[in-house]
């Protein structure tokens, strides 16, 4: 079953990319939250590598604010197209080749959120 979600990719100090994904009730709620998150990041002097609303069937543990970067131990391959995204869990970093300029763009990311059964 697919649901609306906000995908956020941010650059970490070590050059890695961190992913957070949060379920949303509607596409409109997602867009509204995406704008708010963008404003918060901008106020902090940061910006998202990717901030995208879309649909997914992948369920993750809830995002917890303030988790340190070193806790982001789960690996994912993220494809970002014009209108959505696809997130797939990885076993090892070698299972992913980044291609951020491709269409769709491919990002190899880490997250503190794990896949739920």
Taking only the tens place, the pLDDT of each residue in 58-84 is: 999 999 988 888 888 999 999 999 989
* pTM (2 d.p.): 0.92
Q: From residue 105, give the alpha-carbon distance in Å to each of 17, 61, 102.
A: 14, 25, 5
Q: What is the mean pLDDT of the chain?
A: 95
- Predicted local confidence at residue 69, as pLDDT: 80
Task: Give the pLDDT score at 100.
Answer: 97
The neighbour count for residue 15, using CB atoms within 10 Å, is 6
Give the pLDDT mean for 28-40.
97
Q: What is the mean pLDDT of residues 31-42?
A: 96
- pLDDT tens for each residue of 9-22: 999 888 899 999 99
pLDDT score at 66:
86
């Amino acid at each position: 079953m697919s649901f609306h979600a906000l995908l956020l990719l941010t650059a970490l100090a070590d050059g890695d990319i961190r992913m957070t994904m949060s379920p949303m009730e509607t596409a409109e709620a997602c867009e509204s939250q995406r704008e708010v998150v963008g404003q918060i990041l901008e106020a902090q002097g940061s910006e998202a590598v990717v901030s995208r609303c879309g649909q997914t069937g992948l369920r993750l543990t809830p995002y917890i604010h303030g988790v340190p970067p070193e806790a982001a131990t789960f690996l994912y391959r993220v494809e970002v197209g014009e209108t959505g995204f696809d997130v797939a869990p990885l076993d090892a970093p070698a299972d992913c080749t980044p291609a951020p300029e491709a269409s769709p763009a491919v990002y190899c990311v880490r997250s503190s959120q794990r896949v739920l059964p």
